Structure 1
Amino acid sequence: MMAVIILAVAAVDQVVKAIMLSWLEPGVPVPVIGDWFRFFLLFNPGAAFSMGADSTWLFTTIQLTFVVVIAILAPKIRDRWQAVGLAMIAGGALGNLIDRLFRDPGFWFGHVVDYISVGGFAVFNIADASITCGVVVFVIAILTEERREKNREEVAA
């Protein structure tokens, strides 16, 4: 299940990035809901909010490490919701990792394609949204694990 989610998130991310690259011009906003929601193509060398623009190699290494570790640990993760959250995070990391490995300016230092702009918030992509939502799902799963386990035991009894 985790592998399917990881690959689906990364695939959707890459397909939508390809569409946006063929449709949008860098730096030219395309309003969808006024100035509040728009498409705005940019190439991000850093992390969220373009922080760490000089540390692209570090983000590439972290993303690759995370994806590999999740792939190794996936069979040991028993909680369904923790697995979903981690798979969403890993899928987003893989989507952005593909950019860092195969986009300009070159292998390991590629810039991530971002295109969703909401209000005055950062410009992001589907991979970033999946990472954020995956963290929320994972944290909620951790916080509710004991209660869900207790409910399962009561149902089984």
Structure 2
Amino acid sequence: MRIVYWTALVAFVIDQISKFAIVHGLNLIERGVIEVAPPFLTLRMAWNTGINFGLFSDGTNLSRWILIAIALVISVGVLYWVHREKPRRAGLVAAGLLVGGALGNVVDRVLYGAVADFLNMSCCGITNPFAFNVADIAIFIGAATLVLIPAEKGA
């Protein structure tokens, strides 16, 4: 279980440091857009009151707390599953990424009322209108790994 907790902590800390450095340190809140290596990487400030791609983003205080509760329930569920099933190292790391990312976005919702998204990547003539953050990357990699890698038990 230590692998899960350490991975979650590292994902959480990297997410929060990157958000603070970019949103506040580079003042992305006021600047709105910083072109780093266009179109491949642009920092674009976006406050997401919903979930992925702005789904369920009615912006009400009730929906904010519902999304916080859902993220916490999922995190506890993943930790319970890991404790019960004892997956191999890849499953433990994946669970830690998912939990750390979810908690990173929970902190944003508590502090700001929305998740701070700022990474925008486009390529090959396709313009991506959406922004994301390090927590979203951790959640995606963690969830995809848990789904795609067989849940064999560790020793």
TM-score tier by shorter-chain length is: 0.7 to 0.9
* Structure 1 partner of 2:132: 124
Cα distance in 2 for residues equivalent to 1:41 and 1:24: 10
Please point out which of 9, 14, 18 is paired with 1:7.
Answer: 9
Please point out which of 98, 114, 117 is paired with 2:117.
Answer: 114
Task: State whether structure 2 residue 24 is matched by structure 1 residue 37.
Answer: no
Bigger drift between 16-25 and 134-143 goes to: 134-143
Task: State whether structure 2 residue 79 is matched by structure 1 residue 71.
Answer: yes
Could you tell me how far 1:75 is from its partner in structure 2?
2.5
Cα distance in 2 for residues equivalent to 1:94 and 1:139: 20
Please point out which of 89, 98, 122 is paired with 1:89.
Answer: 98
Cα distance in 2 for residues equivalent to 1:123 and 1:89: 19
What's the TM-score, normalizing by structure 2? Answer: 0.80
Unpaired runs of 5+ residues, structure 2, are: none
Aligned residues: 141
Cα distance in 2 for residues equivalent to 1:136 and 1:70: 13
* Structure 1 partner of 2:70: 62
Could you tell me how far 1:24 is from its partner in structure 2?
3.3
Task: State whether structure 2 residue 139 is matched by structure 1 residue 136.
Answer: no
Q: CA RMSD in A?
A: 2.2
* Structure 2 partner of 1:155: none
Unpaired runs of 5+ residues, structure 1, are: 104-109, 153-157
* Structure 2 partner of 1:98: 107
Cα distance in 2 for residues equivalent to 1:43 and 1:113: 5
What's the TM-score, normalizing by structure 1? Answer: 0.79
